[in-house]
Amino acid sequence: MKKQLLTGAFVLASFFAAQAQVVSYDFNDYTIGNIGTNLTGEEVGQGDWLTFGSNGDPVTSNITNANFQVIEGNGGKVLQLTGPDGASGGAFMFQDPQATLDAWAERTEGNDIYQVEYLYYTGTPGDSKNGMGLTVFANSQTSIILCGAIVDTSTNEFYGRAYVNNAGTNGNFLITFGAQGETLVLPDNTWVKIGTSFNKVTGEVIFKVATVAGEILLDNSATPLAGAAAGNDPVEVDVNALNVSAGNTVAAVGLFDNIKVSMVAEDSLLGTKDVSFEQANLSVYPNPASDVVNVSVDALVSNVAIVDLNGRTVKSVKFDGVSTASVNVSDLASGIYMMTVSSDKGTTTKKIVKN
């Protein structure tokens, strides 16, 4: 892993509130159009989101409420975030940071890992120097990044972000993953799963990237990054569009979906099997299926989502804490899908086949 010191281009605002052990946003209940009501970061819009934006100086001029949009996509509705069209400024979306800290303080004892996961559409690399990502901070001044990730829209290069000790210097660094210090380049025009986590006790940071079909592109969980922020609490999480290098003149657009924050005792990023869930006797049947897929588990199921191999969420069904659930798949085309089952004991993903 190669570390690069972050520059002023990465001065961020804040995002996100969590009121439970797991909180998810899929935007399907939102209205098409602007999420925010203004750019002050003080007045809530759809889903209680706050939005903040800055044009800065020089030459950035496009940051308005329209930078934060709900649009149709990915088999439902997604967040579309537009970055700055100049060399400064950025667009940031967040909820009350105090709620994030309150939820963390009220977490189940031993759940000392803070995880953030989301779907991101890579698109076609262009001329914009915008970066799109999410970041977890330790304080309202954003001086310590506990964990995070960002994608360079000009190359689709993936970078981790964390506060680490690099050759005796503590700071917020970009982390690259690839052979001989090269960056990891994500596939073009593809929905990918991105996950990152921070362990308060050890300071370790984990990064994972996978395709929606389950192909692992990055997983450092066997040798986590030794972060230098142990003992800090997560206070702010930011979803952002901003510049990753100097001289930008073009705005880029990023698509986000299925944002999830979890407070857990063991790594379960991107559908990694949760031990407590696997011990709950989970069954998914019949598989292959023609009409209905049944889920049976010694847990309380809250949601079942089905994603096709192009990354589109083709079906998402909510349940009110049931141990058995049925999902009608008769309207789906024949093929292979990934089914994610979420419950009070964790989340796991199973491959299903529709006849």
Give pLDDT tens digits for 299-320.
Answer: 889 889 888 776 677 888 999 8
Give pLDDT tens digits for 254-310.
Answer: 999 989 899 999 888 886 555 556 667 888 999 999 999 999 988 889 889 888 776
pLDDT, residue 3, reads 45
SS3 (DSSP) at 91? strand
53 and 132 housed in the same domain: yes
Give the C-alpha separation, 264 to 200, whole Å.
11
pLDDT, residue 22, reads 79
Pairing of strands 236-243, 225-226: unpaired
pLDDT, residue 279, reads 63
253 and 118 housed in the same domain: yes
Q: Is the dihedral of CA 321, 324, 327, 328 positive or negative?
A: negative
pLDDT, residue 26, reads 84
Listed residues 267, 292, 307: the one ending a domain: 267
Structure tokens given for 98? 């105090």
134 and 192 housed in the same domain: yes
Listed residues 240, 267, 294: the one ending a domain: 267
208 and 302 housed in the same domain: no
Listed residues 245, 267, 289: the one ending a domain: 267
Give the C-alpha separation, 259 to 190, whole Å.
17
159 and 50 housed in the same domain: yes
Q: Is the dihedral of CA 266, 268, 273, 277 positive or negative?
A: positive
309 and 189 housed in the same domain: no
pLDDT, residue 20, reads 38
**Nearest 10 degrees: Cα torsion 227, 233, 237, 243:** -40
User: The domain containing residue 305 runs over which residues?
Assistant: 275-354
Give the C-alpha separation, 132 to 81, whole Å.
8
Q: Which residues of the chain have pLDDT under 70?
A: 1-20, 140-141, 178-181, 271-279, 310-311
Count of structural domains within the chain:
2
Element (H, E) at 79: strand 76-82
pTM for this structure? 0.76
DSSP letters along 267-297, please? --GGGPPPHHHHTT--EEESSSBSSEEEEEE
* φ and ψ at residue 268, rounded to 5 degrees: -140, 30
262 and 280 housed in the same domain: no
Q: Contact 130/241 with Cβ under 8 angstroms?
A: yes
256 and 312 housed in the same domain: no
249 and 306 housed in the same domain: no
